Structure 1
Amino acid sequence: MKKSNLWSLRLGFSGKQADEIEKFGLEKFLKKSYDSKVDTQLPAFLEDSPKTLIELKEYTQYLKKLDPEERMKIQKKVTNSIGELKKWWFEKMENDEFPLREKMVCFWHNHFVVSSSKITTTYWIYQHNMILRENAFGNFKEITKKIVKSNAMVKYLDNIDNKKGKYNENLSRELLELFTIGIGNYTEEDIKNGARALAGLNYGDDGAVYKKNLEDDSNKTYFGRTGNWKADDLVDIIFEQKNIPYLITRKILKWFLYDNPSEESVRYYGDYFRKVNFEIEPLLTIIFTEEYAKNISGNKIKDPLIYIIQLIDELNVKDYNETMIIAFLRKQGMDFYSQINVKGWDGGNSWLTSQIYLQRNNTSDLLCKRQNVSKKAANTMIEENQDKKKESEKVEARIDFDSEGNNKTIIAELSNRLLFTVNDSMQKDMENLLKYDFDPKNPNANDAVIRVFNYITKLPEYQLI
């Protein structure tokens, strides 16, 4: 696989940015990614949604006055807005010129996990997503403070039930265990006192705020320091601890490059992360530029998102059914804002179970046959109310290849952008599909090359980057 194609997959979701990486060079490509514009325009599907606490209260009272049938219709519309948010985000991942920001948003979304099954206010999910988007390349300490004080997080981790004299430790525990420093680097007393410091942090219009009658204003001892600490104070104290850089550095290496990063790499980049005061942009730059110089292909299993976007882009499919794509991701175990628990997606081998592999092969078959992604590809478990007409429509599929080449040069072209390694058996199979007398000018040439592509997508080697 050409290095530019490999790194296009790592810094985005397909090989679509390979030419830009070759044109600009890696460092300039990264700079353009960091400087990419953040779209802050409110999506149309949220325009009528309640956003302030007063609007939410009025909306709740309005629902109570409706008869059950009308109430159900409105609640179904609210539920559908989560689906619209998922499609809105997928469109950004698929179409952004420099998709590294969206890839980093997805990373943070799987780090600071909240779930739409528990948070029924779609606007709060959107707010959470925008915190991640606007701070994707910013400071780890600062994004942690903002997320801890988001309505979505205080709802998801039950901090609305955390009040003086009746403490809930969920947010306090996960702040330490999963969001910052990791197991083994804190005590149960730190968790208990952290919960006291977070008591009373509850819903607000633009984010969580303390409610005076519920907060604990007494002194708490946290990592050996005593004071009347609040949410920001906790984060500041955590970031003074010696092991703070390593949990997040390990997760970044795993997200982008290695399913099993070495401890040496985790420590090396973690120490650098501390030196740059927990700024994400310079950390990503040093990781990507130093690892780019190495031969490290085939160390990571593609997640379902990379798999489906690469498939769509390679086949130049423009009229795919976004609802079915989201359903495909759900059945692959990568549904946005719907992780099984606060730990997030495991990644690695969990992305390639026998069932997931079969679903991937079915999806490749369908698109290569110019059929839209269907219930079959999503394991026949998509909601019954999906657009069945669109499901049955044909899609356009076209593979880019050198129209002046021959069978071997075209096979090499596909291999260079799709496979990190090719053995003699694979080469022979591809030459049996695209024979020596292949004519690239033939009207059916595209169909023949698509058959080779379809074969490649089913190889175990294709699943790796």
Structure 2
Amino acid sequence: MNPNSLWSLRLGFSNKQAAAIEKMGISKFLDASFKTNFDNSIPDFLKDSPKTFADYRELRKKSKELTEVQKEEQKRDFQKQEALTSLDMKAWWLEKMMSDSYPLQEKMTLFLHNHFVSTFQKVKMNYWIFEHNQLLRKHAFGNFKDLTKAILKSNAMLRYLDNVDNRKGKINENLSRELLELFTLGIGNYTEEDIKNGAKALAGLGIGENGGVYRDKIADDSEIIYFGKKGHFKVDDIVDIIFKQKNSPYLFTKKILQWFIYDNPSEALVTYYGDYFRKKDFEIKPLLEKIFTEEFDKNTAGSKIKNPLEYSLQLISELHINPRNSRPMVAFLKNQGMDLFNQPNVKGWEGGKSWLTSQIYLQRNNIADLYCSGRENFNQKTMGTMMDENSNRPALRKTVIQLDWNKGTNKEIISELSNRLLFQVDNDTQKDFENILKYDFDSQAQNADQAVLRLFNAIVKEPEFQLI
């Protein structure tokens, strides 16, 4: 595979940035990516969603004069509206991923979204989930220690990991445990006492109007021992102590390597980049810069299975599809096991081989057929059973698709598309492609575009296309 196409996919979601990487070089492209603006505006679809407890209190106040039946009806309407708002937020994020000229910020936000998991299903407040998402975006190239402190004080995380139930005399260890196990050090690098004492330091930290606040009446101000340090610690204190531990850089560095390049990075690489991360005081930008520039020249193609976003957004980009509605894509991602804002558990999406079960592979082939036939306004039922042109079911609205290819012989066209889309083509695969686009192919013929499109459809169904 062309290295510029490969790294366009790795630093974004499609081949769109390949030309810019080739022209600018990887270092200058990264510099431009790091300078991406942070948009702090609130989308219109959130204007009527409750943003604070005061908003909730106002809603309850208005419902006092209603009958029980009316209250139940109001509750159902509210839940339905919030569910629709959640769909709008997923579509909004997808559109950001597809439209950004330098999508690395969104790719990092998505990575952090799966590192610091907080779901709408549990939190049930769209605005808090949006704030959480914006916090990740704001710190995407910032300091990991500072981001960890900010996340622990976000309303979404405090609700998601039950710290609202953590109080003196009735300790809840969820947030304290995941802080160590999943967010910073990893299993085996802390004790149960560290979890218990960390929970005491977090006791009383609850939801506030603009993020987490301690409530004196339920806070635990007792002296604790945390990783050998004795004191009256609070949230920022315990984070500072965690990041002084020997293994503090390695979990995050390993997950970065897994997200962008290797499903199974070597321990030597994790240690090498992790030590550099510590040396740079846990600044994310220099870590990314070092990893990407040093791994760019290595032959690493085919070392990671594409996640559903990388797979589907690459198809959309290659076919120049401009979706009229992103909700079908939201549904497809959910079917693929990558439901935005709703990971299956606090560990997030597993990645790796979980992205390529037989069912997921079949769904990917189906969506390739749909896109290549100009159908982008599909539904879940369509994904399960491909629609027939002669079916009695209603016809799906079609969109104009355009596949870029250079006119030439069949072998030249196969080589061009293969170099752009696959990391390798063996002899048997080459023969299969030549059976689709035969030796006497005329690139000037009236049906040439359709013939090349059939070739493209075959390529994107190859097992190798599932890899980057």
Q: Does TM-score exceed 0.5, indicating one fold?
A: yes
| 1:30 equivalenced with 2:33 (yes/no) | no
Matched to 1:415, the amino acid is S
Cα shift at 1:377: 5.2
Matched to 1:235, the amino acid is V
Matched to 1:244, the amino acid is S
Q: Secondary structure at the match of 1:141?
A: helix
| 1:453 equivalenced with 2:445 (yes/no) | no
Residue aligning to 2:410 = 407
Matched to 1:420, the amino acid is F
**Is the 8 Å Cα contact of residues 50 and 123 (structure 1) preserved in structure 2?**
yes
**Is the 8 Å Cα contact of residues 363 and 377 (structure 1) preserved in structure 2?**
no
Cα shift at 1:417: 0.5
Q: Distance in 1 between matches of 2:335 and 2:41?
A: 30
| 1:218 equivalenced with 2:219 (yes/no) | no
Matched to 2:412, the amino acid is T
Cα shift at 1:442: 2.5
Cα shift at 1:48: 1.9
| 1:101 equivalenced with 2:105 (yes/no) | yes
Change (3 A) 1:63 1:21: farther
Residue aligning to 1:269 = 273
Matched to 1:357, the amino acid is Y
| 1:346 equivalenced with 2:350 (yes/no) | yes
Q: Secondary structure at the match of 1:48?
A: coil
Cα shift at 1:437: 2.4
Change (3 A) 1:431 1:274: same
| 1:319 equivalenced with 2:346 (yes/no) | no
Residue aligning to 1:58 = 58
Q: Distance in 2 between matches of 1:313 and 1:37?
A: 23
Q: Which runs of 5+ in 2 are unaligned?
A: 386-392
Residue aligning to 1:284 = 288
Q: Distance in 1 between matches of 2:11 and 2:119?
A: 25
**Is the 8 Å Cα contact of residues 360 and 377 (structure 1) preserved in structure 2?**
no
Q: Secondary structure at the match of 2:122?
A: coil
Residue aligning to 1:464 = 467
Q: Distance in 2 between matches of 1:228 and 1:344?
A: 32
Q: Distance in 2 between matches of 1:63 and 1:263?
A: 58
Q: Secondary structure at the match of 2:230?
A: strand
Residue aligning to 1:385 = none
**Is the 8 Å Cα contact of residues 331 and 378 (structure 1) preserved in structure 2?**
no
Matched to 2:409, the amino acid is N
Cα shift at 1:11: 0.4
**Is the 8 Å Cα contact of residues 105 and 129 (structure 1) preserved in structure 2?**
yes
Change (3 A) 1:321 1:200: same
* 1:226-241 alignment runs, 5 A limit: 226-241=230-245
Q: In the alignment, which of 343, 356, 361 is matched to residue 360 of structure 2?
A: 356
Matched to 2:454, the amino acid is R
Q: Distance in 2 between matches of 1:123 and 1:320?
A: 25
* 1:139-178 alignment runs, 5 A limit: 139-178=143-182
Q: Distance in 1 between matches of 2:93 and 2:59?
A: 26
Q: Distance in 2 between matches of 1:462 and 1:25?
A: 25
* 1:124-135 alignment runs, 5 A limit: 124-135=128-139
Matched to 1:164, the amino acid is K
Residue aligning to 2:314 = 310
Kindly tell me the number of residue pairs found equivalent between the two proteins: 456
**Is the 8 Å Cα contact of residues 331 and 379 (structure 2) preserved in structure 1?**
no
Cα shift at 1:444: 2.0
Under a length normalisation based on structure 2, what TM-score does the superposition of the two structures give?
A: 0.95
Q: Distance in 1 between matches of 2:65 and 2:6?
A: 57
Change (3 A) 1:48 1:320: closer
Matched to 1:17, the amino acid is Q
Q: In the alignment, which of 302, 320, 343 is matched to residue 298 of structure 1?
A: 302
Q: Distance in 2 between matches of 1:90 and 1:371?
A: 18
Q: Distance in 2 between matches of 1:314 and 1:320?
A: 17
Matched to 1:245, the amino acid is P
Q: Distance in 2 between matches of 1:178 and 1:136?
A: 18
Percent identity, aligned pairs only? 58
Cα shift at 1:114: 0.7
Under a length normalisation based on structure 1, what TM-score does the superposition of the two structures give?
A: 0.96
Q: Distance in 2 between matches of 1:241 and 1:379?
A: 49
Q: Distance in 2 between matches of 1:343 and 1:331?
A: 19
Residue aligning to 2:438 = 435
| 1:375 equivalenced with 2:380 (yes/no) | yes
Q: Which runs of 5+ in 1 are unaligned?
A: 381-387
**Is the 8 Å Cα contact of residues 63 and 71 (structure 1) preserved in structure 2?**
no
**Is the 8 Å Cα contact of residues 34 and 101 (structure 1) preserved in structure 2?**
yes
Cα shift at 1:217: 1.2
Matched to 2:217, the amino acid is N
Q: Distance in 2 between matches of 1:356 and 1:379?
A: 11
Query: 1:36-92: per-residue Cα shift (whole Å, max 9, x none)?
Result: 011111100011222132122212333565513344223211111111111100100
